[in-house]
Amino acid sequence: MWKARCAERGLDPEGPLLARVLLLGSALLGHPRHLSQHVGGFVISDAPLSRLVPVENAAMPERTIIQWDKDDLETLGLLKVDVLALGMLSAIRRCLDLLRTSGRRDLELATIPAEDAKTYAMIQRADTLGVFQIESRAQMTMLPRLKPRTFYDLVIEVAIVRPGPIQGGMVHPYLRRRQGIDPVLYPSKELEGVLGRTLGVPLFQEQVMEIAMVAAGYTAGEADELRRSMAAWKRRGSLEHHRARLLAGMAERGYPPDFAEKIFEQVKGFGSYGFPESHAASFALLTYASCWLKCHEPAAFACALLNAQPLGFYTTAQIVQDVRKKGIAVRPVDVRFSGVDSSLEDAGAAQPAIRLGLREVGTLPRDAAERVVAARAKAPFRDIEDLCTRADLDERDRAALAEADALRGLSGHRHRARWAIAGVEEGTLPLFSELPAADEGRLVIRPPTMSETTLADYASTGLTLNAHPMALLRHQLRARGYLDHRALHRLKAPRRTRTAGLVTLRQRPQTANGTWFLTLEDEHGLTNLICWRAVVERYRRTIVESQLLGARGRPQENPPPQTSRPP
């Protein structure tokens, strides 16, 4: 198989060049993939730190870096603290600020109404694009099955789609018990107190530690050592001695071997990524807050997401498409109205409109956008010459605004804007002032076609408010039997069919046994694809490289989770 892959990429599997690459590649195995600095980490010591570890200047002024690896610091017992940031906190703050300044609501994170039935109904529908933690394809698949109804359900939802529960085989037993298919059983009366809140299935790090103490005779200190080993076992391979201890301790107390083996597999899973219950609860709070805002203030929440980008799984185009499907108006970038960030307009309406900000023009520097806003605050722009002069825009700035169609209100359309900015030179009269109007019958610059507009929009801002690219291809696709997202959901019975879309997301989880998960976008929504290992092996280059992808398969409302094998 690997020889076929080499041939597909134009490589000679028997050649000396590839042999040398494989030799060098094998020599790199086990080495760090990359070296980087922690942007918010610091070390505390009771003496000058430079006497203990080598310290060097960082690129940022008045910042220093410790040259040693974090594991070396831990081995020496130095006190290391990592300060982490969450982009969703910024998005929620921006959303609350928008609501307050627009006069719609005055809320804080702590005063968002709790246990809102409408919010949970939205979550159960998996309408969670852009929210915190439960926005991924895997989480969206789980939500209609787990059907969160309370805050603690969200705590479990955050924690359950993780390598620990997945690799330990805990996901299906929990779902079957929650749905009433299987009875809730406990390995012993002692463990009921540990596992009662998760229906007899261990999902959290603390539960694994408690099980080790209750069922295997660990002391509190030994359980903490187990926790440390869980975090470091992939780097140091320090878990095997716990396996024998856990199995022997549980066997002495009458627990079945298969239960002990499951617990140990989950311990290894937590070494990849597992949640403490306290961590899951704090994340669930932000999950609920972001879902409540998306449910009750979708315009403000989407606007805040746009201003917090890059953030999460989804692009600006997908966020805009999602909010427009809900009937919320999104207005284009326009130098006459746009701020640097996106903003709300018509705040008194049932749902405000979103005005895209100048920041969406990808090649426009922020300081140029700020100059545009500052100049407009003094007086409206009369024409493009006035804009370029008062905002001190150079050739690159002018071109960026013209390409993004942000000058339409001053020029008419993108092509006229390009002509107009071409005549703006420092110290000379602009050529555009001599451009005749269309009705004068002399020189007419035609407006761009719909396809030209769509392509230019994506090239300049990464999104379009005009026709979606797939809509432009829909006639040809329909003639070839390709269904759009909406038609897929209208199928009364699952059958093999075709669909196509822009590839917006690719995932290859380590726990998925070679399965890839792709998301296709068309003018009506997002369609998730499951590509089994055999399909990936056959079409690897197409799956990895394509921007527009067609697929054939059998649609399912609730596809199997990531651990499932192909039927």
pLDDT tens digit sequence for 426-481: 445 444 455 555 444 445 778 888 888 888 888 888 888 888 889 989 999 999 99
pLDDT of residue 314: 86
pLDDT of residue 331: 95
Q: State which amino acid sits at residue 216.
A: A
Contact (Cβ atoms closer than 8 angstroms) between residue 449 and residue 471:
no
The per-residue pLDDT for range 528-551, each reduced to its tens digit, is 888 998 888 888 888 888 889 999
345: pLDDT strictly greater than 90: yes
159: pLDDT strictly greater than 80: yes
pLDDT of residue 557: 66
Region 153-169: mean pLDDT is: 81
pLDDT of residue 352: 94
β-strand pairing of 343-345 with 64-66: unpaired
The model's pTM is: 0.82
Q: Please, which pLDDT band fits residue 562 given cuts at 50, 70 and 90?
A: very low
- In the chain, the percentage of residues whose pLDDT exceeds 90 is 31
CA gap 498, 484 in Å, rounded: 9
Which of 301, 293, 338, 291 shows the shortest CA–CA distance to 323?
Answer: 301
Q: What is the 3-state secondary structure (H, E, C) of 450-500?
A: HHHHHHHHHHHHCCCCCCCHHHHHHHHHHHCCEECHHHHHHCCCCCCEEEE
Domains of the chain by range and CATH? Answer: 41-82 (no CATH), 163-274 (no CATH), 363-461 (no CATH), 470-553 (2.40.50.140)
Beta bridge partners of 44: 79
Region 336-341: mean pLDDT is: 94
CA gap 215, 193 in Å, rounded: 12
The values of phi and psi at residue 273, to 5°, are -175, 105
